[in-house]
Chain A
Amino acid sequence: ADAIAQLRQFVSVTRSAEGEFEQTVVARSGRKPQQAAGRFAFSRPGKFRWEYELPYQQLLVGDGERLWSWDRDLNQVTVRPIGDALGATPAAILFGQGDLEKDFVLGEGGDSDGLSWVDASPRKAESSFESMRIGLLDGQLKRMELRDNFGQTTLIRFTRLQANPAPDAGRFRFVPPAGADVIGTP
């Protein structure tokens, strides 16, 4: 097990990564689970790219200072300072500074599905989600399960994760496409 040790190792060793993910959102109500998939990349701290290709194209980019989000169909970009918005969110596991204990209470979640699990709950009561489970195998992040405060569960499977790839600064820069609406405080 020692999932927490594996998570600490992942956070300290994996300073950057790129790969692919699949996301399933299961609602407590009878609503059909929503599937999504795409690519991701990150470089600690605060730089990340979370790109949905299915069911529609949406891109989130953290350039270290600002969070850009772009929806192709809406043809709109919103931008706002990242500030500490990242701190207590599930994203912090991937893109945060790496001092998880500052924002989360960590607990051993045992073994299941061939993975060792960490239970993480946000220290701040008014956080936007209730709890999270992080599944690891041999020190590598494989799955995350997020439960929000409305009983909605998001399952993320990292189908491919390449740790510490060759740096590509352009990957964490975002330039609004011509003609797109830009809203927010750049």
Chain B
Amino acid sequence: CAPLQTVPGSVAVVRTASPYFELDGRLSATDGERAANGQIEWRHAQSTDQWTAYSPLGQIVARLDSNAAGAELMLADGRRQRAASASELLPALIGVDLPLQRLPGWIQASPQADAEVRSLDEVGRPSLVIDQGWRIDYTEYLNPAADALPRRLEISRGDARVRLVIDRWTLQP
């Protein structure tokens, strides 16, 4: 595998993933054939998640709600779909099947302990993480601080690729 491209002399900064966050951003996802892109909002709490996809005109195109009891996908045309968990429905929303237990850590550039931080940037933040066969490239952070959250990242594996620009982060203290 690729040699460790850590910026010489940079030490991994300790980062902790927040159990609650809200993000507003823009996402493009493709599995090689289908492609989805648009504005997305994700509210994540300990055991509940809500993803909302918007059209450029700000209309809600789809909403996926999930909690301990199960998950429901609601589309703008009224169609609804239920499932035991959000991971069965997320592909219908963004077109790519992502591991949902790992996603909150990936999105905050605070991967779980068993993930491999392949390279760091000059401030000691992850720039490339490999986890469960997925590659997460952190191409931009919000600001130069060591605990800054990512502004742009790309998650890929084989033909599947999700590119996300995060315009607004809200973390609950």
A binds B: yes
- CB within 8 Å of B: which residues of A? 23, 25, 31, 34, 36, 50, 52, 55-56, 58, 60, 69, 71, 73-74, 76, 78, 90, 125-129, 146, 148-150, 152, 154, 156, 181, 183-184
The listed residue (B26, B35, B41, B163) touching A184 by CB distance below 8 A is B35
B78 within 8 A of A: yes
Chain B interface secondary structure, helix, strand, loop or mixed?
A: strand
Q: Compute how far the CA of A70 lies from the CA of B32 in the bound complex, rounded to whole angstroms.
A: 18
Could you list 15 further interchain pairs (A-B, Cβ under 8 angstroms) beyond the known A128-B77, A154-B58?
A25-B54, A52-B56, A55-B167, A58-B26, A74-B165, A76-B37, A78-B35, A146-B57, A146-B59, A148-B59, A149-B60, A150-B76, A152-B59, A183-B28, A183-B35
List of B residues within 8 angstroms of A36 by Cβ: 58
List of A residues within 8 angstroms of B74 by Cβ: 150
List of A residues within 8 angstroms of B79 by Cβ: 126
List of A residues within 8 angstroms of B23 by Cβ: none
Q: Compute how far the CA of A34 lies from the CA of B26 in the bound complex, rounded to whole angstroms.
A: 14
The listed residue (B30, B41, B56, B76) touching A129 by CB distance below 8 A is B76
B55 within 8 A of A: yes
B61 within 8 A of A: yes
Whether A128 contacts B35 by the Cβ 8 Å rule is: no
Known A78-B28, A127-B77, A128-B77; contact A90-B37, beta-carbon cutoff 8 A: no
Q: Could you give 26 example pairs across A and B, Cβ below 8 Å?
A: A23-B57, A23-B58, A25-B58, A31-B41, A34-B58, A56-B165, A58-B26, A60-B56, A69-B56, A71-B37, A73-B165, A74-B165, A76-B163, A78-B28, A125-B78, A126-B79, A128-B59, A128-B77, A146-B59, A148-B59, A148-B60, A148-B76, A149-B77, A150-B63, A152-B59, A183-B37
Known A56-B26, A71-B37, A76-B37; contact A149-B56, beta-carbon cutoff 8 A: no
- CB within 8 Å of A: which residues of B? 26, 28, 30, 35, 37, 41, 54-61, 63, 74, 76-79, 152, 163, 165, 167
